[in-house]
Amino acid sequence: MPKAVKKATSTEFKNFQPYKPKRGEVYMSEKQREHFKTILLNWKAELMQEVDRTVSHMKDEAANFPDPADRATQEEEFSLELRTRDRERKLIKKIDSTVERIEQDDYGFCDACGVEIGIQRLEARPTASLCIDCKTLAEIKEKQELG
């Protein structure tokens, strides 16, 4: 497994404790919302650290190699890194909007049908806004439209 993949996988679930709802506990109680808010804020902090590392890495590694192949390799590495950071920037926006939903008591329910998304699904994908059934239907429709 490449180093970058190992690093991303190991930090993603650092200090993660699955939420175990108590018997009779109301869905999306204050404790549950706080649990997910903590997950989201930790995830955002890790992404922001990666942004800082990228900036310092690009400053430190920037060199004008005399060999065109070396220069092209470095430019390709930087390009891949910047694309990754751009995806992460979009994810940070989604995390921020999800935290806002938590604060407005609108988190944990499907945008399409209004049913509970489920704690386990939200722990797997904390920014999920659709229940598994609606997400599956959306993916089927997308496949049909794209051919």
- Compare 83 and 13 and report the one with higher pLDDT: 83
Whether residues 70 and 119 fall in one domain: no
Whether residues 7 and 57 fall in one domain: yes
Looking at residues 41-52, what average pLDDT do you find?
A: 93
Q: What gap in Å lies between CA 121 and CA 107, rounded to an integer?
A: 13
Task: Give residue-wise pLDDT tens across range 84-139.
Answer: 999 999 999 999 999 999 999 999 999 999 999 999 999 999 999 999 999 999 99
Q: What is the dihedral of CA 91, 97, 100, 104, to 10 degrees?
A: -130
Residue 13 has pLDDT above 50, yes or no: yes
Cβ neighbours of residue 89 closer than 8 Å, sequence gap 6 or more = 51
Whether residues 98 and 132 fall in one domain: no
Whether residues 47 and 91 fall in one domain: yes
Confidence of residue 10 (pLDDT cuts 50, 70, 90): very low
Whether residues 66 and 101 fall in one domain: yes
Q: Is residue 18 part of a domain?
A: no
Q: What gap in Å lies between CA 100 and CA 96, rounded to an integer?
A: 6
Residue 11's pLDDT is: 40
Q: Is residue 21 part of a domain?
A: no
- What's the whole-model pTM score? 0.80
Q: What is the CATH number of the domain that holds 3?
A: 1.20.120.910
Whether residues 88 and 112 fall in one domain: no
SS3 category, 116: strand
Domain residues for the domain of 35 are 1-11+28-107
Whether residues 80 and 129 fall in one domain: no
Residue 12's pLDDT is: 54
- Picking from 30-39, 47-56, 80-89, 116-125, which range would have the lowest pLDDT averaged per residue? 47-56
Q: Is residue 20 part of a domain?
A: no
Residue 64 has pLDDT above 90, yes or no: no
